[in-house]
Chain A
Amino acid sequence: MKKQLTILSLVTLFIGGCFGAQKAHADFSLGVYPPITTITTTAPNIINTVISFSNTGDTPIDGDLRIVPFKASDDGTGLPSYMDHFTGPDAQIAQKISLSITNAPVTSLTIPPQSKRDVTLTVTLPENEPDGDYYFSVIYTSKPITNNQSTSTFLNASIASHVLLSIGANHKPQGNIDTFDTPIFVTGGPLPITVKVANTGNAFFAPRGAITIKNMFGQTVGAINLLPVNILAQSIRDLPSDEISNTSEESKPVWHEKALFGVYQVQLSVALSDQGPLYTQTRYVIAIPWIAIGTIIIMSLLGLFIFLRVKKRTS
């Protein structure tokens, strides 16, 4: 009995040591869901949607909420370029957008540890609201805790949730394929492809696209699906492929086939919406593996030379 108690005590101490001796990490962790909300509506209307801010760290986070308008950045990567004020047909649109918690307006928010807070975004559109698109982010910024006790740098963090608001009954997308580039001559794969779509209208849309590749015999030998990313009004955006990128950069469409020979037809099809319009463009790529062909020719000539010399000697 005594021996069993001793063993049990040792086991308990061991297990307690394993789990109890872990160092407590006071991490700072801030999250938001959803990262984007798209609203397509006519006026008049009242739109309510929820954005959740979460704190999975060990300490409460105290911060401010604000609405910041943006436009598409010029690099076509889908990142916002923030502005000081809204642009568009309604100069008073900012007054029609509000944040609240249980119907009470909110400009600051405290999130306890291991919890989340839901903020309601309300867009109130009167009957005479003009058609137009407005893009903004709901940004939550934590407040740093500072002191002057030592030489330190204090950190705070902001996290953004985008909102794309499109007002109007006629949402037919207007745009075109701005860029569709492939190399003309290649010695082999992989084959990089650049696709950019321009939105020439006044409402954002999310086009669907695909690239098919056929060889000189008309057989389909490759296919690439493009992501239906949002393209803001009056902007141009790269369409990435749906592949998982192995780098930190966006997945540009790439046909990964390495052994290429002959003429290939690369066809891009882009539908700006489920109801069209549909655009198609075709490019041709000529693949001549010079190095491989040259090597084969040289080896063949060498072999022929050796064969003839041997034949001559034996004869």
Chain B
Amino acid sequence: MRYWKRLKAFVKKERKNNKCFPLLPFFDYNEGMYYKVLLTLILVLIGAYVATRPTFALNMSNSQWILQMGSVNNNFAGLKSGSGYTLRDTGGQVAPGLYSGTGGKVRAGFQYIGSLIPFSFKISGEGVTSVDFGIIDPTNPVTRTQTLSVTNGSAHGFVVTIAENHALLDPPTGSSIPDTTCNAGDCTSTTATLWDSIFAYGFGYRCDQVGVTNYCPTDFATTNFYRPVANTSLSQNPATVMSGANVGRNMQVQITYKANISTSQGAGFYSNVLTYVLTPTF
């Protein structure tokens, strides 16, 4: 109260001396206006503080609705018994963390990462899930690029592998565009080598860094180094195309697919299926 009186006295004195009002020089020198503005500022600050307090609400949604509620309690835990056996239920969780019930504990997520961000994978770029090479002329390689993005907000480490069901195949004729062996015939599904000759034919891919951190395997460090895709019909294991060790959003690499054919390659529509697998560490 005493401070408020002193403030009022100060304001009066300043106005008498016709000095620029220290806090609000652009306002008319109206004492009442000053107190109104000051009160408004205080209310705004209080409102901002309240608005930024965390709320503990559960959101559930689908394409038709969004449901918000305070919390959901699982009501199916408990002891049940029948003839010859006793069963205890433990279940349900609404957030990452440790849930304990009779006889069991369930922990969702890593104990050292308290994030709700899903572990997710995105493909964007040319064709997305259907990469069309168009008409391929002999000794005229065609390339297509895409961006792979991983958001790893809830796992400490991940790997993305790639594999194909078979080489590019034209089902009516049974002929195929073979997987590349690169210029020197020495690249494999796990080791990239130089492929820039127009007389080296086949289908392959390479990985390039996007951004500050390189998530591509080290054998792609040199430009124009390619690998053939691991072929599961030949019992080859999927190969790592991207890996990371930290939590993070939108970790990206660029994938370039390349196809080159010889003059003896028969005409047709060749296709195969590539499978990317995103796996977190445990």
A residues bordering B, Cβ < 8 Å?
A: 25-42, 44-50, 52, 54, 56-57, 72, 77-80, 112-116, 126-127, 135, 137, 139, 141, 144-162, 164, 206, 227-230, 232, 240, 242, 244-251
Contacts and interface: CB of A to CB of B under 8 A. Distances in A.
Interface of B: 61-63, 76, 85-93, 96, 103-112, 116-124, 127-136, 151, 154-157, 159, 164, 168, 171, 177, 203, 213-216, 242-246, 257, 259, 268-282
Contacts of A164: 282
Contact of A155 (B129, B151, B242): B129
Contacts of B213: 246-248
A164 B86 CA distance: 24
Nearest to A42: B103
A157 B276 contact: yes
Nearest to B251: A248
Given A37-B108, A49-B108, A115-B62, 13 more contacts: A33-B118, A35-B154, A44-B85, A49-B93, A72-B282, A148-B269, A150-B269, A153-B257, A153-B271, A154-B129, A154-B272, A155-B130, A162-B282
17 contacts: A31-B118, A36-B109, A47-B106, A79-B282, A113-B63, A114-B63, A126-B85, A135-B282, A146-B273, A152-B131, A152-B132, A153-B203, A157-B275, A164-B282, A230-B282, A247-B245, A248-B244
Contact of B151 (A31, A39, A44, A151): A31
A154 B280 contact: no
Nearest to B99: A49
Contact of B156 (A27, A50, A229, A247): A229
Contacts, number: 258
Contacts of B130: 145-147, 152, 154-155
B122 A27 contact: yes
Most buried by B among A42, A79, A115, A160: A79
Most buried by A among B116, B136, B278: B278
Contacts of B168: 151, 153
A229 B111 CA distance: 9
The 8 closest A-B pairs by CB, nearest first: A31-B120, A48-B91, A41-B104, A31-B118, A78-B281, A35-B280, A29-B122, A35-B155
Nearest to B60: A118
B104 A39 contact: yes
A25 B279 CA distance: 25
B281 A79 contact: yes
Contact of A145 (B129, B154, B272, B281): B129
B91 A148 contact: no
A187 B10 CA distance: 67
A28 B123 contact: yes
B22 to A, nearest CB: 39
Contacts of B270: 151
A167 B16 CA distance: 83
A255 to B, nearest CB: 18
Given A39-B106, A41-B104, A162 B280 contact: yes
A158 B88 contact: no
B119 to A, nearest CB: 4
Contacts of B112: 227-228, 242
A240 B244 CA distance: 13
B131 A248 contact: no
A37 to B, nearest CB: 5
Given A153-B168, A247-B214, A31 B134 contact: no
Contacts of A137: 279
B111 A34 contact: no
Contacts of B214: 247-248
Given A57-B122, A151-B136, A249-B245, A158 B276 contact: yes
B282 A78 contact: yes
B198 to A, nearest CB: 18
A141 B277 CA distance: 8
Contacts of B109: 33-37
B123 A155 contact: yes
A46 B90 contact: yes
A160 B124 contact: no
B90 A27 contact: no
Given A34-B154, A158-B277, A245-B246, A228 B123 contact: no
A250 B245 contact: yes
Contacts of B272: 153-154
Contacts of A229: 156, 281-282
A103 B271 CA distance: 39
Most buried by A among B105, B121, B122, B282: B282
A152 B119 contact: no
A57 B128 CA distance: 11
A45 B80 CA distance: 10
